[in-house]
Structure 1
Amino acid sequence: MAVTTSAENPLPVGDVSRLIGGWIDRLGAVWVEGQITQISRRPGAGVVFLTLRDPSHDVSVGVTCFRQVFDAVADVVAEGARVVVLAKPEWYAPRGQLSLRATELRPVGTGELLVRLERLRKSLAAEGLFAADRKRPLPFLPQLIGLVCGRASAAERDVLENARHRWPAVRFEVRNVPVQGVHAVPQVVRAVQELDARDEVDVIVVARGGGSVEDLLPFSDEELVRAVAACRTPVVSAIGHEPDRPLLDLVADLRASTPTDAAKKVVPDVGEEAERVRMLRDRARRAVGAFVEREERGLAHALRRPVMEDPHRMVEEREAQVTALLDRSRRTLGHLLDRGLSEVTHTHARVVSLSPAATLERGYAVLQRADGQVVRTPREAPDGAVLRARVAEGELSVRVTSGPDGTADADG
């Protein structure tokens, strides 16, 4: 809407700012390209503040976006990066300041490529392809090493020369393939699968001597990553690019910083191993020597004991003790027998003195009726009764007759 003004009828600054804000509000979201010159992320704030600059015109504008919008590309976007922003222009009337409210950020060029790789990395990591428990240990001394590298490349030379310098008897099965370009991925995958199918191959090394992010794209390809994850043979990644690690480094069982480092990690050094064997042998010798010396000292100390110097001495001492104990036991047993005999003799004398047989020996007799009852009074033996008279030397049968005084008499 046109506004009519004049020197006599000017508009206040506030009205001009408000009108500019109205015109800008009618402008929809636009795609804007520029270079990030400043990033402000306040702790706990839900909004990130950026400064977007056009280097060709030396113009800058402030950009605000929600944290989740910026976090989607935070791993690959930093100050100095070129981005494309989908934003809605906004006018802050009190200050007369233009800014952009961004709803989407996209890195340009390499940044966009890194965003795609980061998404693929997160997807494969969620499947567990990069988990530490999937990593397999390398064999101590591989008999045959599979090597996948470019033809006549520095990476091939570094691996072969350094490995053979460390262990001259090591053998290699080399597969020369393109390591960049459109044909790199299928040929590298085929070479890895062929080497993995051979039982005699103990470890596979995939090597390249570094390069730009674009050159290393084949080693972040999903097909190659899954092929390495499916290998039953341990795989070593030796791409040799420190700033931007390809996904092959994450899925491999071991990552080497360079092809030379891969040769050092895969093959042991014969000199170092010989020195280690020598040190272990010396350590074992010292341990055995110390053990023998300790046992010899113990044996010498045992031999110096009196019992070992004169073995019969202990027997003689024990013999005297046994003899003394035997004599003591004999005396004790004799005293016990004597006392027992005395008690038996006294008991026998008392029994004899109390025995009815002793009374019979003095001429007495015991009269018993036919039923065995002892006769104690004349009334128990009527006239004419037959009794049994028991004397010291035997028994007699007697008959009872009445005497002149009317008492019973016994006739034999």
Structure 2
Amino acid sequence: MENTEQIWSVSDVNRAVREIVEGSLLPFWLRGEVGSLVIHRSGHVYFTIKDTRSQMRGVFFGGAAACTKLGVANGTLIEAFGNLTVYEVRGEYQFSARQLRLAGIGDLQQRFEAVKNKLAAEGLFDPGRKRPIPVLPRRIGVVTSPSGAAIRDFLQIINRRFPNVNVRIYPCAVQGAGAAEQVARGVDFFSRTRGADVVVVTRGGGSMEDLWPFNEEVVARAVAACSVPVISAVGHEIDFTICDFAADLRVPTPSAAAELVIGRRQEMSDRLNRFEKDLHNTLNLALTRLKSRLDRAAGSFVFKEPAHLARMRRQQLDELENRLQGSAERWLLANRARLDQLAGTLTTLNPSRQLERGYAILFDPAAGKPVTTSKVAAGTRLQARLADGEMTVEVQ
């Protein structure tokens, strides 16, 4: 009797399983927690995705940049779009991701687009509403967390480029519940009091959830209604918020905002020196031409006898030269004196100089605000900011 039994190879079985698995389900969204994450130097990402009861292998070919941008790590809750595949070599099925996002980001993105479209329809983002940023403001208002990295980066640039500028900080929370309202109140404070020539709204980078207060209507409307120009420096270069669209100018980082608002003092000095040199060169060239014309006229037949007329014109020309040079020098001295006066005033008003004299600023860590009253309960622990650092003190 002939043996008709079919003998399968392992490869045959795995191939059949792959065809069944990959052909039975359409691409879908899968939600779970990342584990065993490996971002290979090839650009591919390997991981497990799990819930409280089960897990499966996952792969995201070419997904290294996307995972790095989102800050995906072990324990991150994600939503991945893709399909089931079978890796025949090991006989394992896995989820092959085509797109990745942090869990809940889809809802936030929809809210972002809804708020953006609503405010755009009202004209809050129109280019015609944008105002120019002052070239060298005397006072800079900053709305941010007083303990965040953003304000440290901002002040570092300010002190290096233009240490005498007056910076006023409105302390507020920059993420979490109530942060949007605090940011809006900070912008409104500078708008009402005219306490600054330009306002910078800033915080460091973070996830979309972290940056969400800057996507709220209350912040966008406060920025659009501010009586002085507003710069938005929220997140990193790849981050965009609705505050960016409402502001007069958007810059990618807090450091870029600092460089923009103060300009460069050395550049101003160089421009003044170039102007002085160009003015002298122009005057000397004009006087040389006039003298040459006068010399030619004095040598002509008409002026040979009345030579005293030529000498008189020469004397008048010399006097004119002296007056022009004196006027130019007085103008330059007056402007240099004004610049030095402003520098002295800014030095006096610089908060950092007050700290160097032995003063300190007390902050309530719980409230995140400076302490402005002596009515603080005994035993309360406060943070004291000094010129060279910080210390914790306790109220007696």
TM-score, normalised to structure 2, is 0.53
Counterpart position of 1:180: 175
- Which residue of structure 1 lines up, in the alignment, with residue 132 of structure 2? 137
Contact 2:234 2:253 in 1 (8 A): yes
Pairs within 5 Å for 1:254-273: 254-273=249-268
CA 1:203–1:132: 2 relative to 1, 3 Å: same
Deviation at residue 228 of structure 1 after TM alignment: 0.5
Amino acid aligned to 1:245: F
Indicate the residue corresponding to 1:207 in structure 2: 202
Could you tell me which residue of structure 2 aligns to residue 125 of structure 1?
A: 120
d(CA) in 2 for partners of 1:152 and 1:166?
22
SS for the counterpart of 2:99 is coil
Unaligned runs of 5+ in 1: 1-29, 39-50, 61-77, 83-106, 313-412
Does residue 1:163 correspond to 2:163, yes or no? Answer: no
Aligned amino acid, residue 99 of structure 2 = G
Deviation readout 1:79-99 (Å, 9 max, x if unpaired):
4147xxxxxxxxxxxxxxxxx
Is the 2:82–2:98 Cα contact (8 Å) retained in structure 1? no
Alpha-carbon distance change, 32 to 53 in structure 1, aligned in 2, over 3 angstroms: closer
Question: Which of 119, 144, 149 in structure 2 is aligned with 1:149?
Answer: 144
C-alpha distance in 1 between matches for 2:83 and 2:166:
57
Deviation at 1:193, TM superposition (A): 0.5
Aligned match of 1:231 in 211, 226, 234? Answer: 226
Q: Match for residue 104 of structure 2?
A: 109
Offset of residue 187 of structure 1: 0.7
Structure 2 vs 1, CA of residues 188 and 55 (structure 1 numbering), >3 Å: closer, same or farther?
farther
Residue 274 (str. 1) matches residue 274 (str. 2): no
Q: 1:301 and 1:271 mapped to 2: Cα distance?
A: 45
Question: Which residue number corresponds to residue 29 of structure 2?
Answer: 33
Q: 2:99 aligns with which of 75, 80, 94?
A: 80
Q: Which residue of 2 aligns with 1:383?
A: none
Query: In the comparison of the two structures, how many residue pairs are matched?
Result: 230
Shift of 1:31: 12
CA RMSD of aligned residues (A): 3.0
1:347-388 deviations in whole A, cap 9, x for unaligned?
xxxxxxxxxxxxxxxxxxxxxxxxxxxxxxxxxxxxxxxxxx
Q: CA deviation at 1:165?
A: 2.4
Q: Which has the larger radius of gyration?
A: 1
Q: Which amino acid aligns with 1:53?
A: N
Is 1:53–2:83 an aligned residue pair? yes
In 2, Cα distance between equivalents of 1:55 and 1:248: 42
Query: 1:111 Cα deviation (Å)?
Result: 3.0
Q: Deviations over 1:47-100 (max 9, x none)?
A: xxxx9514796589xxxxxxxxxxxxxxxxx94147xxxxxxxxxxxxxxxxxx
Highest relative contact order (Cα 8 Å, sep 6+), 1 or 2?
2
d(CA) in 1 for partners of 2:206, 2:220: 19
Counterpart-to-counterpart distance in 2, 1:262 and 1:32:
42
**Per-residue deviation at 1:192?**
1.0
Give TM-score scaled by structure 1 length: 0.51
- Between the aligned partners of 1:178 and 1:207, the Cα distance in structure 2 is 11
Helix, strand or coil at the partner of 1:225: helix
2:98 and 2:183 map into 1 onto residues whose CA distance is 36
Q: For each residue in 1:306-342, what CA deviation from the matched residue of structure 2 results, as whole angstroms up to 9, or x when unmatched? A: 2222469xxxxxxxxxxxxxxxxxxxxxxxxxxxxxx
Q: Kindly tell me: are residues 151 and 55 of structure 1, through their superposed partners in 2, closer, same or farther at Cα, counting changes over 3 Å?
A: farther
2:237 to 237, 242, 253: 242
SS of equivalent residue, structure 1 residue 285: helix
> Among the aligned pairs, what percent are the same residue?
38
Q: 2:185 aligns with which of 181, 190, 200?
A: 190
Q: Does the aligned pair in 1 maintain the 2:144–2:170 contact within 8 Å?
A: yes
The alpha-carbon deviation at position 258 of structure 1 amounts to 1.1
User: How many Å separate the matches in 1 of 2:275 and 2:188?
Assistant: 40
> Could you tell me how far 1:151 is from its partner in structure 2?
2.2
Query: Aligned pair in 2 of structure 1 residues 203, 31: CA closer, same or farther (>3 Å)?
Result: same
Query: Structure 1 residues 270 and 52 mapped into 2: Cα distance closer, same or farther (>3 Å)?
Result: closer
- SS for the counterpart of 1:173 is strand
Give the CA deviation at 1:136: 0.7
Unpaired runs of 5+ in structure 2? 1-25, 32-59, 62-80, 87-92, 308-396
Report 1:237-386 matches (<5 A).
237-310=232-305
CA gap 1:295/1:200 in 2 versus in 1, 3 angstroms: farther
The code of the aligned residue for 2:83 comes to R
- Give the Cα–Cα distance (whole angstroms) in 1 for the partners of residues 134 and 207 of structure 2: 32
Distance change in 2, residues 1:145/1:128 (3 Å): same
Q: In structure 2, how many angstroms separate the alpha carbons of the residues matched to 1:52 and 1:263?
A: 43
Structure 1 residue ranges (4+ consecutive) displaced by more than 3 angstroms after TM superposition? 30-35, 54-60
Q: Is the 8 A contact 1:303 1:309 kept in 2?
A: yes
